[in-house]
Structure 1
Amino acid sequence: MKIKVSVPATSANVGSGFDALGLAVTLYNTVTFEESDKLDISSADGTRIPRNESNLVYRSARVLFDRVGKKMPPLKIVQTNPIPMARGLGSSSACIIAGLLGANRMLGEILNTQELLTLATGIEGHPDNVAPALLGGLTSSVFEDGQVYSVKRDVDQSLCFAAVVPDYKLLTEAARAALPAQVPHKDAVYNLSRAALVPAAFCEGRHDLLAIATEDRLHQPYRLPLMPGAKEVFALAKDCGAKAVYVSGAGSTVMAVAERADAEAFYAGLQQGLEGLEGLDGCEAFTLLRLDADNVGATVE
């Protein structure tokens, strides 16, 4: 029996919701699983991935088998990975969710969605990517005492997204190392008040709130200096009509949000402007991904 899992890319933090908010978008990693006589891991699209037991898809599947006390059989795993790695679009979360869902299907859906989410968060360390990867939409999540509390809302389909992906990686570890150990109380309040507006802005048609809801003082000011060209991309996206612009996850991708009615002009202006930014501050090229919100989440066939 062949099992196929598709998992969407995710954009965490959404500006103000550091380590709490995330949303799923229409870019998908797919993984197929089959029982085999030996471990066989390969990439269908040529992406360089570990082909041994250190592979994150394999390790995540193994976690579930161990969790329920079952022996994991040798597997043939084939990955297709269009989600860019180490760019702030949830590539690791996609691998984790794929591994868990593949294993769960092999075991007859032995764990429910809440149990899968808790297991995924334990592997990843935070829920802001794994929650939307599993559930779709916009998720608000808390991880406390080994338990995940998460609420999912459907994102307004009249919004469209542009992921501006530079040609350099920004590892989550480096991005987190740039953050201060403490922040002023006023900065915490600044973010809390704005994060409270995010569901209305993205899910309830309050597009007038998109810009202010995604403002941030907790992480972006410290990470932007690590992202050559990002400030210029912020300015360009706003000039092209973006309603909101923020650092996706830990970076290096910048996510811009626009109204679908303006999508054609928005994408065209952004593409043209990005060509003028190539070579800026050591960034040789930008890739523009035209995306929508995914309100379904990961699927298993």
Structure 2
Amino acid sequence: MFVSVPATSANLGPGFDSLGLAVDLRNQVELVPSRFFAVSIKGEGENNPRLKGNNLFVSIFNEHYRRLTQKRQNFKFTFYNQIPMSRGLGSSSAVIVSAISCAHEAAGVKVSKRRILNHALVYESHPDNITPAVMGGFNAAMVEKQKVFSQQKHLPDYLKAVVVIPNKPISTAKSRTTLPKSYSKENAVFNLSHTAVTVGAFFNEDWEMLRLATQDRFHQKVRMKMLPELFAVQKMAYDNGALMSTLSGSGSTFFNMVYDQDAKMLADKFKAEFSDFEIKILGFDNDGLVVER
């Protein structure tokens, strides 16, 4: 059995803790019953021995498997990781979602994506990453009475993401401590209005509106100061036709949306200017969580 979950980019400018989308970069888990517990990691994190001994996936999997079956069972887990860790591309959400899904599959319990999403909320209190990880596409999400309510929009093939992945992480927990404790009414209204128009632009496929709509006054500039090169990344993106250019989650990755024909040109410019950073051209993922039996 294989379970795979896509990378995500959250916030998307003004949609703090509420907007996110999925990109075509996946972590996959292979799960087989075994006489002995075993963990193997290939790709991202394979050289980090702590991940084998203190594995969030295994902890969440065991919690749900025992709840569902009332018994213990050894498994061999093989992780094929493509999502960079601690770079704002939803690697933690991918772990949470895949662990919950694997536990239900191993227990033989059918479960909806919506139920998995609500289980994931226990481990990740903000729905902006976990929602596109489960549902795919672009998502606007909110939490009400410990449940996620969301609206999803498929993204067309003629759009691409050009992601700039710095060689330094930005800790989500640390970056949150740098944010203001309160916001003025003016800035709150600014973000509310820009978030509303961002959602409308995605659903109406008015991509040219996104450059204006995705401006933010809540978190981006404060977080970008932790890695000042990101200001130059954003300027280069907009100088070269990007439809939107936003910090991915809390960073350090920067997410840029472009038309398909402009993707290589922008990626080449990034590679020439930011040689220490990893540049990827990615499609968008409309499938979200996938289980292959």
Structure 2 partner of 1:286: 277
Output the amino acid matched with 2:137: G
The yes-or-no answer on 1:295 pairing with 2:293 is: no
Structure 1 partner of 2:163: 163
Equivalent residues in 2 for 1:125-136 (5 A)?
A: 125-136=125-136
Output the amino acid matched with 2:3: V
The yes-or-no answer on 1:186 pairing with 2:190 is: no
In 1, Cα distance between the equivalents of 2:244 and 2:122? 31
- Compute the displacement of 1:97 (Å): 1.1
In 2, Cα distance between the equivalents of 1:138 and 1:14? 10
In 1, Cα distance between the equivalents of 2:87 and 2:80? 17
- Percent identity of paired positions between Structure 1 and Structure 2: 35
Output the amino acid matched with 1:59: S
Q: Deviations over 1:217-252 (max 9, x none)?
A: 111121111123111111111122212111000100
CA contact (8 A) 2:132 2:138 kept: yes
Aligned with residue 18 of structure 2, among 14, 17, 20: 20
Structure 2 partner of 1:83: 83
- Compute the displacement of 1:147 (Å): 1.3
Output the amino acid matched with 1:258: V
Q: Deviations over 1:166-190 (max 9, x none)?
A: 0001111111111111111111111
In 2, Cα distance between the equivalents of 1:177 and 1:170? 12
CA contact (8 A) 2:68 2:104 kept: no
Structure 2 partner of 1:177: 177
Query: Which has the larger displacement, 223-232 or 24-33?
Result: 223-232
Equivalent residues in 2 for 1:11-160 (5 A)?
A: 11-45=9-43, 46-48=46-48, 50-52=51-53, 54-68=54-68, 70-160=70-160
CA contact (8 A) 1:26 1:293 kept: yes
What is the DSSP-based 3-state SS (H/G/I as helix, E as strand, rest coil) of the residue aligned with 1:129?
helix
Q: Structure 1 pair 140/66, CA: closer, same or farther in 2 (3 Å)?
A: farther
Output the amino acid matched with 1:15: G
Q: TM-score, normalised by structure 1?
A: 0.91
Structure 2 partner of 1:7: 5
Q: Deviations over 1:119-139 (max 9, x none)?
A: 111111211111101110011
In 2, Cα distance between the equivalents of 1:294 and 1:77? 24
CA contact (8 A) 1:12 1:19 kept: yes
Q: TM-score, normalised by structure 2?
A: 0.93
- Compute the displacement of 1:69 (Å): 5.5
- Compute the displacement of 1:203 (Å): 4.0
CA contact (8 A) 2:69 2:107 kept: no
In 2, Cα distance between the equivalents of 1:127 and 1:116? 12
In 1, Cα distance between the equivalents of 2:47 and 2:247? 24
CA contact (8 A) 1:14 1:246 kept: yes
Output the amino acid matched with 1:39: F
Output the amino acid matched with 1:102: C
Structure 1 residue ranges without an equivalent (≥5) = 276-284
In 2, Cα distance between the equivalents of 1:228 and 1:210? 23
In 1, Cα distance between the equivalents of 2:66 and 2:149? 23
